[in-house]
Amino acid sequence: MVSDGRREQNIRLIIEMEDRIAQCKRCKSLLSCIRKPSMGKGDLEPDIILIFENESQTAQDPEKLLELRELIKSEFNTSKIYHTFMVRCQPKACAIRSNTSCYLENNKLIDRDYKCLLSGKSCEGIPVKPADDNIIRCLPFLLEELEILDPRTVILFGDRVSDFVLKTYGIFEEFNTGDAFYDSTGRLFITVSSQEEFNIEEYHKLRDNILIAENPD
Ligand code: SF4
């Protein structure tokens, strides 16, 4: 059983890491059109961590995220679930910004009410997938989060998340959705499709993999 001291330590370390994420400027081009980076949420002594590529998928469908968490909670008999993101700053495609003077590059172009300073209207940027270099710059935060929270099981949503995270942990094997892998410490990683494509059959495969991992004999 994990002590209260451990929980307090996790809270302190996560807050300290989130402060650094909030100050991070490694991907200058992504910062103009976001108010704040996406942070992980959930139990701070989790059994299971769900990793999504970036927040756009979940923010667009918070009900599905809730449904997914409830499904995993009830079937695996744990309420200790946490979810987080491989890239914290949501990239956006925007015609207004791309037609703007380069003098405005790297400046905040969105106000506290999410209004665009160039158009005076609500931000019309279209969320797009992060580039590989954004993923590589942001991965250290994810690894730090996993080390702090130390879950038994990590569920990787989508091929890009699976590919980057598995390789980061030294796992270079080919994978399909629903596959299970272990790192050198015995932590279980399960690859699933992206949150939008995740379905009940895949979910059963995921559950079987977790049960096999917990009862190897
Ligand atoms: S995406 Fe990650 S690495 Fe890039 S600026 Fe945001 S927090 Fe920093």
Question: Following DSSP, what letter does each residue of 152-206 receive, concatenated?
Answer: SEEEEESHHHHHHHHHHTT------TT-EEE-TT--EEEEE--TTT--HHHHHHH
* 193 alpha carbon – ligand 1 mean position (Å): 24
* Lining residues, ligand 1, CB within 6 Å: 21, 24-27, 30, 37, 87-89, 134, 137-138
Decide: 33 and 125 in contact? Cβ < 8 Å.
yes
* 140 alpha carbon – ligand 1 mean position (Å): 10
Low-confidence ranges of the chain (pLDDT < 70): 1-3, 57-60, 101-106, 213-217
Provide the residue ranges of all domains of the chain, joining segments of one domain with +: 4-24+38-89+131-214
Taking alpha carbons only, the member of 143, 141, 159 closest to residue 151 is 143
Taking alpha carbons only, the member of 98, 204, 104, 202 closest to residue 158 is 202
Taking domain 4-24+38-89+131-214, whether its CATH number is 3.40.50.720 is answered by no
Taking alpha carbons only, the member of 29, 4, 6 closest to residue 150 is 6
| Residue 189 structure tokens | 């990683």
Residue nearest atom 3 in ligand 1 by C-alpha distance: 138
pTM (predicted TM-score): 0.89
Give the atom of ligand 1 at the shortest distance from the alpha carbon of 30.
5
* 137 alpha carbon – ligand 1 mean position (Å): 7
Amino acid found at 21: I
How do strand 180-182 and strand 188-192 relate by DSSP bridges?
antiparallel
pLDDT for 98-124, tens place per residue? 777 666 666 788 888 888 888 888 888
pLDDT for 2-29, tens place per residue? 567 888 999 999 999 999 999 999 998 8
